[in-house]
Amino acid sequence: MKSYILTISRTVLFSGLLALTFCNSKEENTVTKSSSSSAVSIPEIEQGIKDFIAVKTAENDGVFPVKDENHDLKMKLVRVHTEYLSNLGPDSHFACVDLVDESGDVYDVDFFMEGKPGAMNVTQTTVHKLNGKPFYSWKQNKEDKTWYRVALEQSNNNLLGVVEGTDHFEFYYTVQIPSLEGPARMWIPVPESDPFQDVKLIETKSDIESRKIEEKVFGNTLLYYELKPEDSGKEIQISYEVKRKEKGPYEASAPDPKVYLASNRLMPKGGRFEEIAKEVLGEKLKESHLIQARALYDYIIDNMRYMKFGDYGNGDSNYACDSKTGNCSEFHSFFISLARSVDIPARFAIGASIPSDRNEGGIDGYHCWAEFYADGKWWPVDISEANKYTALATYYFGRHPANRIELSRGRDLEVNPGPNAGPINFIAFPYLEINGKEIKAPSKFTFQRKVNS
- Tell me: do 112 and 194 sit in the same domain: no
Question: Using the 8-state DSSP alphabet, how is residue 115 labeled?
Answer: S
Is 381 contained in some domain?
Answer: yes
363 located within any domain: yes
d(CA 66, CA 337): 35
Closest-CA residue to 352 (of 160, 166, 171): 171
pLDDT by 10s per residue, the chain, length 453: 333 344 333 333 333 333 333 343 333 333 333 333 456 788 888 888 888 888 889 999 989 988 766 677 888 999 888 777 787 777 888 888 889 888 888 888 888 888 887 788 888 877 888 887 777 766 667 777 676 667 766 555 665 789 999 999 999 999 999 999 999 999 999 999 999 999 999 999 999 999 999 999 999 999 999 999 999 999 999 999 999 999 999 999 999 999 999 999 999 999 999 999 999 999 999 999 999 999 999 999 999 999 988 999 999 999 999 999 999 999 999 999 999 999 999 999 999 999 998 999 999 999 999 999 999 999 999 999 999 988 889 999 999 999 999 999 999 999 999 999 999 999 999 999 999 999 999 999 999 999 876
Whether residues 281 and 414 fall in one domain: yes
User: Which pLDDT belongs to residue 177?
Assistant: 97
DSSP 390: G
Within a domain: residue 3? no
Q: Are residues 223 and 343 in the same domain?
A: yes
Same domain for 230 and 268, yes or no, is yes
Same domain, 163 and 17: no
Q: Which domain holds residue 97?
A: 13-155
> What pLDDT, on a 0 to 100 scale, did the predictor assign at position 6?
41
The radius of gyration computed from the CA coordinates of the chain, to the nearest angstrom, equals 25
Distance CA 80, CA 97 (A): 4
Same domain, yes or no, for 165 and 117? no
* Contact status, residue 171 vs residue 239, Cβ threshold 8 Å: yes
- 170 and 129 co-located in one domain: no
Single out the residue in 110, 134, 155 at which a domain terminates. 155
**Is 148 found in the same domain as 214?**
no
Choose one of 105, 135, 155: the last residue of a domain.
155
Please tell me whether residues 327 and 257 are part of one structural domain.
Answer: yes
The last residue of one of the domains, among 122, 140, 155, is: 155
Residues in the chain, total: 453
Whether 5 maps to a domain, the answer reads no
Pair (256, 349) in one structural domain? yes
Q: In angstroms, rounded to a whole number, what is the distance separating the alpha carbons of residues 161 and 404? A: 10
Q: Does 82 share its domain with 196? A: no
Beta bridge partners of 350: 368, 408
Please report which helix (H) or strand (E) contains residue 227, including its range.
Answer: strand 220-227
Q: What is the DSSP secondary-structure string of 318-336?
A: HHHHHHSEE-HHHHHHHHH
Alpha helices for 342-444 (secondary structure H)? 383-388
For residue 73, CA distances in Å to 7, 49, 213, 248 come to 11, 18, 46, 17
Q: How far apart are CA 279 and CA 296, in angstroms?
A: 10
- Residue 142, in any domain of the structure: yes
In a domain, 335, yes or no: yes
Q: Which tens digit of pLDDT belongs to each residue from 228-284?
A: 999 999 999 999 999 999 999 999 999 999 999 999 999 999 999 999 999 999 999
pLDDT of residue 12: 35
CATH of the domain at 439: 3.10.620.30
Burial class (CB in 10 A: 0-12, 13-18, 19+), 252: exposed
Residue 407 lies in a domain: yes
Interhelix angle for 271-281 vs 328-341, to 10°?
80
Q: What pLDDT, on a 0 to 100 scale, did the predictor assign at position 131?
A: 81
Total domains, the chain: 2
Report how far residue 112's alpha carbon sits from residue 122's, in angstroms, rounded to the nearest whole number. Answer: 6
What is the predicted pLDDT for the residue at 31? 33
Is residue 4 a part of any domain in this protein? no
Dmax (CA) for the chain in angstroms is 83
Same-domain pairing of 182 and 143: no
Q: What is the pLDDT of residues 39-52, one digit of tens each?
A: 678 888 888 888 88
